[in-house]
Amino acid sequence: MVMSVYESGVQCTLVGDGMVGKTCLARSFADRTFPVNYVATVMDKYNGTTYVDGNKYGITLTDMAGEHEAITCSDYKSTDVFIICYSVVDRESFESVQDFWAPEIRKIARKRPVILVATQTDLRQKWNKDHVTTVEGETLAKRMSVDRFLESSAFAKEGVAPIFKSVVQASLKYNKKKCNIIKRVLSGI
C-alpha cells in the first residue's frame, strides 16, 4: 500500500474564547510540545500529519484569537473543518460556544464540518468549582448538530490524536457529499 499525503491537505481553523487551550491543542498535535507560558494569539498557523485508513494526511491548523470580534468570511473561506473549543473548567467559555461561536461559524460557513472539543480535561479533578461535564458537552453537541464531540487534554496528551483524525474524516465526508451534489446537478443538465 502506498502512503501519500492528501494532495491539498486539510485546512482546519480552531476558534473559541481566549485561554481555553486552542494553542496548546494545536502545538500538542503539530510539534508534540506543550507551551508552558501563555502568549495571546492573534492568528498562528501550525502544520501536522495524521493517518486515516492507512493514508497520510497533512493538516494546516489556523489558531485564531479568542476575542468576540466580528468574524469575516475572508478569514475562513479556505477552511475545510472548524474546531470550536471550550474549557471544561471555564463555564463561560462553554456558554460562549452556544451564544457566539457556533452561530458565527454557521453564519459564514453554513455546511462546513464542525467538531466541538472540550479542552483541559486534566483539570477537572483539581478544579473545585462547577466544571462542565461530559454529558453537558454531548448535549450541546447534539443541539448544535456538530459532526463530532471530543474531549482532550493537551497537557496529558489525551484525546489529541482522535481530534485530528476526526478532522480528516469530516473533511473527506464533506468533500464526498459536495461531489455527489455537483454530479446530481450536472446530470440534470
pLDDT of residue 6: 46
What percent of the chain is predicted at pLDDT more than 90?
64
Residues 6+ apart with CB under 8 A from 114: 81, 82, 83, 84, 102, 105, 106, 144, 146, 147
Domain count, the chain: 1
Q: What angle do CA 77, 174, 25 make, to 5 degrees?
A: 65
pTM of the model: 0.87
CB 116 within 8 A of CB 84: yes
Residue 48 lies in a domain: yes
pLDDT of residue 175: 86
Query: Which residue segment(s) compose the domain that 119 sits in?
Result: 10-187
Torsion of CA 131, 135, 136, 142, to 10 degrees: 150
**Rounded mean pLDDT of 105-118?**
92
**Rounded mean pLDDT of 105-128?**
90
Residue 150 lies in a domain: yes
pLDDT in tens, 5-30: 444 589 999 999 999 999 999 999 99
Residue 43 lies in a domain: yes
Residue 4 lies in a domain: no
**Rounded mean pLDDT of 99-103?**
94
Residue 3 lies in a domain: no
CATH of the domain at 47: 3.40.50.300
